[in-house]
């Protein structure tokens, strides 16, 4: 696992998160959601679209977790 240890990488993550959050609010407005169940449906569709657009398969699909020492 790689962590963002320098400010430039952290700002990219923060910018992406902010963009997603802003876009979700817009999607909810466009859908004219009036209840939490409608909002959940919009959220599920939103997450599916985001994942299709930005998901990348892992180079190493095996687990990165190490066993806990005894």
Average pLDDT over residues 7-15: 68
Distance in angstroms (rounded) separating the CA atoms of residues 20 and 43 = 11
**Residue 59 exposed, middle or buried by CB count within 10 Å (0-12, 13-18, 19+):** exposed
Q: What pLDDT score was predicted for residue 9?
A: 62
Residues ≥6 apart with Cβ < 8 Å to 43: 24
Would you state the pLDDT for residue 41?
92
Confidence (pTM) = 0.57
Give the mean pLDDT of 43-49.
Answer: 90
CA-based torsion, 26, 30, 32, 38: positive or negative: negative
pLDDT of residue 59: 86
**Percent of residues, the chain, with pLDDT higher than 90:** 7
The angle formed by the CA atoms of residues 22, 3 and 21, to the nearest 5 degrees, is 5
pLDDT digits over 23-32, tens only?
888 888 888 8
């Amino acid at each position: 696992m790689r962590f963002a240890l320098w400010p430039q990488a952290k700002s990219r993550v923060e910018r992406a998160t902010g963009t997603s959050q802003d876009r979700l609010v817009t999607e909810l407005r466009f859908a004219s959601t009036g209840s939490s169940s409608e909002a959940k449906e919009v959220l599920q569709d939103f997450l599916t679209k985001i994942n299709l657009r930005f998901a990348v398969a892992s180079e190493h699909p095996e687990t990165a977790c190490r066993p806990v020492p005894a």
